[in-house]
């Protein structure tokens, strides 16, 4: 699944660790999300959406 997480994080000027701290996950998880190696659970996806003030579908794209 593609996502805009890296761009959104860049816009805020945050490091991966800073974003991880905001989301309450590890830096490895943020890296895996950004590189598309891991798809988040719904609760985490909602958390990411709330953090950036966007809807889930505005951040994640399943290519359909």
Q: In the complex, what is the shortest distance from the CB of residue 28 to another protein, in angstroms, rounded to a whole number? A: 5
CB 62 within 8 A of CB 1: yes
Stretch that binds another protein, among 6-14, 36-44, 55-63 (CB under 8 A): 36-44
Q: How far apart are alpha carbons 12 and 47 in whole angstroms?
A: 16
Nearer to another protein, 32 or 54 (CB): 32
Per CB under 8 A, 31 contacts another protein: yes
Q: In the complex, what is the shortest distance from the CB of residue 64 to another protein, in angstroms, rounded to a whole number? A: 23
Torsion on CA atoms 21, 56, 3, 27, rounded to nearest 10: 10
CB 5 within 8 A of CB 48: yes
Site for another protein (CB under 8 A): which residue of 4, 6, 14, 21? 21
């Amino acid at each position: 699944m593609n996502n805009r997480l890296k761009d959104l994080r860049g816009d805020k000027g945050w490091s991966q660790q800073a974003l991880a701290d905001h989301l309450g996950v590890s830096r490895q998880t943020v890296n895996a999300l950004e590189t598309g190696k891991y798809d988040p659970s719904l609760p985490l996806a909602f958390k990411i959406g709330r953090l950036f003030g966007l809807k889930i579908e505005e951040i994640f794209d399943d290519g359909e």
